[in-house]
Each structure stands twice: as C-alpha cells, then as structure tokens.
C-alpha cells in the first residue's frame, strides 16, 4: 500500500494535475502574444462600437480620421468620452483599432 503511494509514477501524476491548470491559465493570458484583444476590429466591436454605433458618441468610421488623433482621444479622453488606459487597451491593440477605424467605411445607417 505505502509502496504504491510512494511510487514515482504516482508522484508524477500528482505533479501533473497540480501544474496543468497554471500552464493553461498562463497560456490564455498570453493569447495572441499581446493581450486579450484579437485585433482592431475586435476592439472596435467590443468597446468603441457600443457608443459609436448607438448614437452615444459620433460616428467615427468612414471619416478617415488620422490614427494618431484616434489614439490620442482614447488615451486622454475627449469631453464626454472617457479615457482608456493601457491596462485596458494595450498600445499594440490601440494602434490596430485606430488603423482599422481610419480605413473602415461608414457603418450602415440604423433604422
């Protein structure tokens, strides 16, 4: 009995069971290598679109706004718009969403 519990195979199995969840969590946190966002369109759909396609904020697609202007507004806020810090949208994802918005065509008009 005790020889079974002390066997190397049992110890390895325990070690694997405890270590695995941490490896999986670490892998998720590093999705895409640069944060939780999956590119510019993803950030726009999950964050900006809630206000900017629902008449809370002005339409920003289809206006060829310069990416540098968009990133400045997002980091600093602009009158009624709240600022979003790097802890919320990392620099890389912010750059991607700014380029996406700058090049995107205007959203279809809503009824």
- Active-site residue (options: 9, 26, 29, 80): 80
Q: If binding is defined by CB under 6 A, does position 100 make contact with ligand HEC?
A: no
Q: Has 9 been annotated as catalytic?
A: no
Cα 4 to Cα 66: distance, rounded to the nearest angstrom: 68
Taking phi over 0 as left and psi of -120 to 50 as alpha, with beta for the rest, 100 belongs to alpha
Q: Which of 61, 67, 70, 102 binds ligand HEC (CB under 6 A)?
A: 70
Q: If binding is defined by CB under 6 A, does position 65 make contact with ligand HEC?
A: yes
Q: If binding is defined by CB under 6 A, does position 45 make contact with ligand HEC?
A: no
- Contact assessment for residue 59 and residue 67, using Cβ atoms and an 8 Å cutoff: no
């Amino acid at each position: 009995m005790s020889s079974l519990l002390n066997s190397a195979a049992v110890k390895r199995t325990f070690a694997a069971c405890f270590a695995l969840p941490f490896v999986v969590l670490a892998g998720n946190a590093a999705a895409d290598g640069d944060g939780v966002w999956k590119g510019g369109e993803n950030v726009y759909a999950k964050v900006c679109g809630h206000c900017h396609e629902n008449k809370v904020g002005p339409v920003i697609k289809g206006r060829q706004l310069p990416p540098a202007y968009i990133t400045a507004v997002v980091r600093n806020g602009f009158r009624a718009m709240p600022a979003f810090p790097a802890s919320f949208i990392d620099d890389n994802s912010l750059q991607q969403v700014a380029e996406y918005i700058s090049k995107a065509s205007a959203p279809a008009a809503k009824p």
